[in-house]
């Protein structure tokens, strides 16, 4: 399966951010980048040598073509991108530091992707040479038709024998918990691998980990084991994985993860990270996990690879994880010194 394509379905966004750690009020210019949760994963896996495909809808203008060229630059496939609509969605990012939190402002109403239709894509052709299909809760949140589009895409993927994964990715700026649960719960029966963070399950599926307080940084592993087991029994997931972030400040986080599979909970090494850019941290964990699974890693190694890849991403500017397989393997093998490589 490692030679088959990874299919990423979701919105592509224009990221606009002030230089460095300037606040919005201080900015006289914005830096431009093209990104998106699912597309970030396609780029990360392509950078690690795997065939990938970004499935999205872009406006048929120069901004849409700039996004297209960005993904081609990093090796992600663009053969199934549709064109239409009037605008690319935008998000503005003000990066936090120390005790000042980062801020994200979305401007994505009526974007090209939010008005997408299932018929915009030839799904049988997309899945003909695919091994893995991935979507997120962000995708389902972007329009009233998108949960049904995700469902139909999952059903087609299953007919082609394709593994389906979902990152719950709850975004309170996009929808309420009630809206998220109404849309996402029915989709879970199509999902083989569920991915989330400390609070996604509670927000999106209405089931949380007992004894955990995200704000206070209290994470209860027994609670997560019970949560993963309950989710598996309820929806039939083959694997459940969570990132575990302990925010000591906007600049310093502890980072680890867990993977539940075949009734056993695997927990990873914990890293203390000095953060350069945390956006895309969850996407890099998900792509690292999928890389490990598709390349035959045992569950513990797949988890360590995912956490290590994501740890390295936090040291990289912008949303893409451009870590190499060798760099990740060196880190999880014990070399986290950061010494100059000559």
pLDDT digits (tens, 9 = 90+) for 110-121: 999 999 999 999
Do the bridges between strand 89-94 and strand 103-107 make them parallel or antiparallel, or are there none, so unpaired? antiparallel
pLDDT digits (tens, 9 = 90+) for 243-295: 999 999 999 999 999 999 999 999 999 999 999 999 999 999 999 999 999 99
Tell me what pLDDT residue 215 has: 57
Do the bridges between strand 57-58 and strand 82-83 make them parallel or antiparallel, or are there none, so unpaired? parallel
Average pLDDT, stretch 3-11?
Answer: 95
Q: What's the rounded Cα separation, in Å, for the pair 100 and 84?
A: 39
| Domains of the chain by start residue, with CATH | 5-329 (3.40.1190.20)
pTM: 0.95
Q: For residue 214, is pLDDT > 60?
A: no
Average pLDDT, stretch 313-334?
Answer: 96
**Cα dihedral sign for 182, 59, 135, 175?**
negative
Q: For residue 86, is pLDDT > 60?
A: yes
Residue 224's DSSP bridge partners are none
Q: Residue 190 has what DSSP assignment?
A: G
pLDDT interval class at 211 (50, 70, 90): low
Longest dimension (CA), the chain: 54
CB atoms within 10 A of CB 156: 17
pLDDT digits (tens, 9 = 90+) for 38-71: 999 999 999 999 999 999 999 999 999 999 999 9
Cα distance between the two ends of the chain: 35
Q: What's the rounded Cα separation, in Å, for the pair 157 and 41?
A: 18
Q: For residue 216, is pLDDT > 70?
A: no
Look-up of token digits 């593994």: 163
Q: For residue 1, is pLDDT > 60?
A: no
Average pLDDT, stretch 309-314?
Answer: 98
Buried b (16+ CB within 10 A) or exposed e, 27-47: eeebeebbbbbbbbbbbbbbb
Average pLDDT, stretch 73-99?
Answer: 97
Return mean pLDDT, the chain. 94
- Taking CA atoms, 243 is separated from 54, 255, 319, 325, in Å, by 24, 7, 17, 20
């Amino acid at each position: 399966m490692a030679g088959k394509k990874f299919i990423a379905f979701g919105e592509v966004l224009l990221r606009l951010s002030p230089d460095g750690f300037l606040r919005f009020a201080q900015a006289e210019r914005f830096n431009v980048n093209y990104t998106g949760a699912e597309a970030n994963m396609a780029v990360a896996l392509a950078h690690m040598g795997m065939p990938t495909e970004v499935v999205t809808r872009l406006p048929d203008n120069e901004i849409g073509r700039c996004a297209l060229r960005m993904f081609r630059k990093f090796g992600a496939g663009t053969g199934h991108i549709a064109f239409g609509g009037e605008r690319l969605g935008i998000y503005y990012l003000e990066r936090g530091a120390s005790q000042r939190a980062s801020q994200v402002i979305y401007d994505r109403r009526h974007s090209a992707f939010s008005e997408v239709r299932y018929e915009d894509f030839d799904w049988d052709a997309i899945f003909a040479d695919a091994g893995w299909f991935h979507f997120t809760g962000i995708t389902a949140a972007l329009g009233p038709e998108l949960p049904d589009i995700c469902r139909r895409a999952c059903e087609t993927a299953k007919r082609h024998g394709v593994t389906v994964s979902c990152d719950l990715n709850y975004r309170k700026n996009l929808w309420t918990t009630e809206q998220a649960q109404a849309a996402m719960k029915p989709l879970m029966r199509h999902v083989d691998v569920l991915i989330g963070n400390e609070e996604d399950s509670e927000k999106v599926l209405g089931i949380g980990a007992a004894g955990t307080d995200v704000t206070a940084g209290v994470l209860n592993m027994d609670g997560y084991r019970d949560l993963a087991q309950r989710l598996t029994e309820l929806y039939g997931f083959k694997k459940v994985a969570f990132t575990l972030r302990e925010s000591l400040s906007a600049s310093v986080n502890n980072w680890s993860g867990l993977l539940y599979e075949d009734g056993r909970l695997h927990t990873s090494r914990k890293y203390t990270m000095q953060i350069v850019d945390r956006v895309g941290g969850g996407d890099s964990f998900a792509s690292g996990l999928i890389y490990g699974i598709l390349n035959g890693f045992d569950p513990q190694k797949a988890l360590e690879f995912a956490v290590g890849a994501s740890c390295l991403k936090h040291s990289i500017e912008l949303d893409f994880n451009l870590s190499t397989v060798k760099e990740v393997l060196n880190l999880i093998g014990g070399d986290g010194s950061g010494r100059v490589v000559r």
